[in-house]
Amino acid sequence: MGELKNTDAQSAGMHTEQLSGRTQQVFFDVESRENEDRFLYPGAFEVDFDKHGEIDAVDLTAREVNTQIRDLMKEGMGSITIKNPGAKHSFGVGLLNRLNLTFEGSLGYFGCGLNDGPNIRITGRVGWSCGGNMMGGTVVIEKNGGSTFGNAIRGGDLVCKGDVGSRTGIDMKGGTIIVGGRTGAFSGFMMQRGRMIILGDAGMNLGDSMYDGTIYVGGKIAALGVDAIEGEMSELECAWIERKLEMYGLKAPHGAANLTKIVAGKQLWNYDNLEPAEKKLVL
């Protein structure tokens, strides 16, 4: 079995994972232009951020809006504005391309999920499961969000400047979730990796059954979940949090050093050293 490659972030204490075995993680130099096509999706469009497009969604379905977004990217437009989204569901999903996308209004359920690359801004609110299974890029919501915010997120930054509902970051596998206000019950449930920053209060059962990752809370915590415990903040973490929040015009209410850090107690770490195929050989 192979070991995960030790990185600068791990050496500095920003990664606590102790996983072994096969991994799909790929480490590369972002400054290198060598083999850059390896990091592009097949069929990705060449876009120019200075070219602007606009879609009025007032009489359009989600399929029509998402298709028109791709049509505009195909024409090379790298900045697209969606007007009158009308809180409809499933807008801005499955975008595997660099893109500046703005929704002038609110979205319904399942908005901006399954994305890898675009920078999305929503001027209104969002419903359930915004940013679900997101792999890269950014999504910034100016107002409030619904439940299961950032479910199973794998990468990128998902930011809600207001409050969100329950089960934020459920089954989170990477990336960063930032909430400017409060979050509901069972946030961070079965969290596996990544970081969550909650600047307000957190509901019941925070971090329940989390395996790894880190949750930072600026307000009161109603109750911790199973195997979630408080950890010690480091200077490196404080500096990282301050820089990350500054990117989105946010600040910790009493400073990053006074956030409460929640990590896994590791009492549920019942990992097996054998791969499934190896188990069959042993048995």
The 10s digit of each residue's pLDDT in 93-112 is: 999 999 999 999 999 999 99
Who's near 163: CB < 8 A, 6+ residues apart?
Answer: 144, 145, 179, 181, 182, 183, 200
Prediction pTM value = 0.86
Q: Which domain holds residue 132?
A: 47-268
Residue 113 inside a domain? The answer is yes
Percent of the residues in the chain that have a pLDDT greater than 70, as a whole number: 82
Within a domain: 242:
yes
On whether residue 63 sits in a domain, the answer given is yes
Total domain count, the chain: 1
Residue 25 in any domain: the answer is no
Q: Is 249 inside a domain boundary? A: yes
Residue 191 domain-assigned (yes or no): yes
Tokens of 137: 């890029």
pLDDT digits (tens, 9 = 90+) for 111-166: 999 999 999 999 999 999 999 999 999 999 999 999 999 999 999 999 999 999 99
Indicate whether 26 belongs to any domain: no
Whether 234 maps to a domain, the answer reads yes
- CATH code at position 101: 2.160.20.60
Cα separation of 149 and 75, whole Å?
Answer: 32
